[in-house]
Amino acid sequence: MNTPSTKADDILRCARTLIVRGGYNSFSYADISGVVGIRNASIHHHFPSKADLVRRLVAQYRQEAEAGLTELERNVADPLEQLRAYVGYWEGCIADASHPFCVCAMLAGEIPVLPEAVAVEVRAHFRGLSAWLASVLERGVAEARLTLTGSAGDNAEIFMATVHGAMLSARAYGDPGMFGAITRPLLQRLAA
């Protein structure tokens, strides 16, 4: 299961970086062709339209996210540590500025102007992430590792929203440390 780094993958990876920077309408085919080393029109061979490109990009992102969480569950047993690892992953991404924003959080803000096919994928990511968080929280309560006020589902939504808001604040202030400053108390509160 190696990755021969095809042009299509290069295009997806480049587009992802561009979306993370400024969203759906902030990049063009020209931006991609320059970086990937392919002609503008050739992108259409792999992705008929921009909507299709981004739809598949988000689908791939969701798949990777799901795979990442599955592996996280395999490597880390404790629910609280799982949450810490999840937050820590993003803390790292923001600190080294590699992917300092969630693709779907970025696109979610633009949903009113997004192609419906893309919006569907974005919504699916939110639901999937929320469901995973809820399951972790639920197990954490069952194992007496963390205590909640309210349902696991409600707390999952709060958790997710706070993480997204922390990304936004880190970007707004231009201060990577802001993400940790907001998410650390979130984790501490659950651990109590």
Partner DNA sequence: CCCTCCCTACCAACTAGTAGGGAGAACGTC
Partner DNA sequence: GACGTTCTCCCTACTAGTTGGTAGGGAGGG
Binding of residue 40 to DNA (CB under 7 A): yes
Nearest partner of 111 among 124, 96, 93, judged by Cα: 124
The CA-atom distances, in angstroms, between 46 and each of 12, 20, 40, 41, 139 are: 10, 21, 11, 10, 42
159 within 8 A of 186, measured Cβ to Cβ: yes
Q: Which stretch binds DNA (CB under 7 A): 41-49, 79-87, 99-107, 171-179?
A: 41-49
Query: Do residues 170 and 178 lie in contact, with contact meaning Cβ atoms separated by under 8 Å?
Result: yes
Q: How far apart are CA 70 and CA 85, in angstroms?
A: 12
How many of the other CB atoms lie within 10 Å of CB of 6?
Answer: 10
> Which residue type sits at 157?
E
Nearer to a copy of itself, 6 or 177 (CB): 177
Q: Which stretch binds a copy of itself (CB under 8 A): 40-48, 72-80, 97-105, 136-144?
A: 97-105
Q: Is 192 in the site for DNA (CB under 7 A)?
A: no
Cβ 123 to a copy of itself shortest distance, Å: 6
The residue within the footprint of DNA, chosen from 9, 31, 73, 138 (CB under 7 A), is: 31
Cβ atoms within 10 Å of 137's Cβ, excluding its own: 26
101 binds a copy of itself (CB under 8 A): yes
By CB atoms closer than 10 A (0-12, 13-18, 19+), residue 185 is: exposed
How far apart are CB 113 and a copy of itself at their closest, in Å? Answer: 3
Residue 33 binds to a copy of itself (criterion: CB under 8 A): no
Binding site for a copy of itself (CB under 8 A): 21-26, 101, 104-106, 108-114, 122-123, 126-127, 149-150, 154-155, 157-158, 160-166, 168-169, 171-174, 178, 181-182, 185-186, 188-189
Give residues in contact with DNA (CB under 7 A): 6-8, 27-31, 37-42, 44-46, 48-51
